[in-house]
Amino acid sequence: MGLQYAVHAYAWTSSWSNATLNLIDHAKALGFDIIEIPLMEVDKFDPVAIRKRLEQTGMGVCTSTACSDGSDVSSPDAAIRKAGVDYLKRCVDVTAAAGGTCLSGVLYSAIGARIAGMPGEDYRERAADGLRQVARHARDLDVTIGLEPVNRYETFLVNTCEQALDLARLIGEPNVAVHLDSYHMNIEEEEFYMPTLVASPHLCHYHLSESHRGTPGTGTVDWEAIYRALAESGYSGVVGMESFIEVADSMRAATCVWRPVAESSDQLLADGLAFLKETEARIYDELDA
């Protein structure tokens, strides 16, 4: 069984709702197996309508989100931590209701938050306590919680694969996994092979994003190393593409995409998916030879 390729809905829209259900069909037509739907606006997420469209198209679904200043499970403020746990539990509920089995992203702190000085162990312990509650809730619904390390400009708490694995161990629940992203790894990791290999037994998702957020194969990400590590570990789960070419101007500050990195999202996705699948086939075949 080969890898399952997902595409993030942010490739086309900054705001998911029932008006964008057609993107499920569009993703299928482009050759993807799974659509990744953001839950930043969870009130607009209609799991019944989504599940129906998924069943009609034969597509799978996963979800992702990021905590905000008001839902930060690592916050010193107990009320904010409770709001974060409540929010993430709701994300779990709608994920399961739509037929999804994985919720991942920046679930451990507020995206873009800054603190004075180095983060102490208290931040990790607070995050672990909150996510432990979320994970136990998710376990009853057969949902995996994925911790995505992101770069230093987007979080102070989990920047590397090692830090994500450490936090997962601290949480201590069997349905807590790791979600890698090659765009962030290109900034924070020394190389791609070993973090991928070490994370593979604990992976639930892998964003295959180029170093400049453009088409995979046109930047500095070491795709050979990533696929070699995935192949050697026997990983056959979900990998995905994430791009922000067509996001609304209201999201520019969040995505920091200030120039066109491809002619269109569809062109980036089509060319990138072809490149990634060719790389997968070649390296997995070499391993089997």
Write down the catalytic residue from 148, 154, 210, 280. 148
C-alpha distances in angstroms, 88 versus 63, 65, 160, 164? 11, 9, 22, 18
31-84 pLDDT, tens digit per residue, is: 999 999 999 999 999 999 999 999 999 999 999 999 999 999 999 999 999 999
Question: What does pLDDT average to over the chain?
Answer: 94
Region 213-228 average pLDDT = 96
As a whole number of angstroms, the distance between CA 180 and CA 197 comes to 11
Judged against a pLDDT cut of 90, whether residue 179 lies above it is answered with yes
Select 4-288's CATH number: 3.20.20.150, 1.10.10.10, 3.40.50.12500, 3.40.50.720.
3.20.20.150
186-207 pLDDT, tens digit per residue, is: 999 999 999 999 999 999 999 9
DSSP 11: G
As a whole number of angstroms, the distance between CA 50 and CA 97 comes to 9
pLDDT for position 249: 63
Q: Is 148 a catalytic residue?
A: yes
User: Domain spans of the chain?
Assistant: 4-288
- pTM for this entry: 0.95
pLDDT for position 2: 87
Write down the catalytic residue from 36, 154, 242, 280. 242
How many residues in the chain?
A: 289
C-alpha distances in angstroms, 149 versus 140, 160, 165, 167, 274? 25, 5, 10, 10, 26
Proportion of the chain above pLDDT 90, given as a percent: 87
Helix (H) or strand (E) holding 203: strand 203-207
- How distant is the alpha carbon of residue 141 from its chain centre? 19
DSSP 250: G
| Amino acid code (one letter) for 51 | R
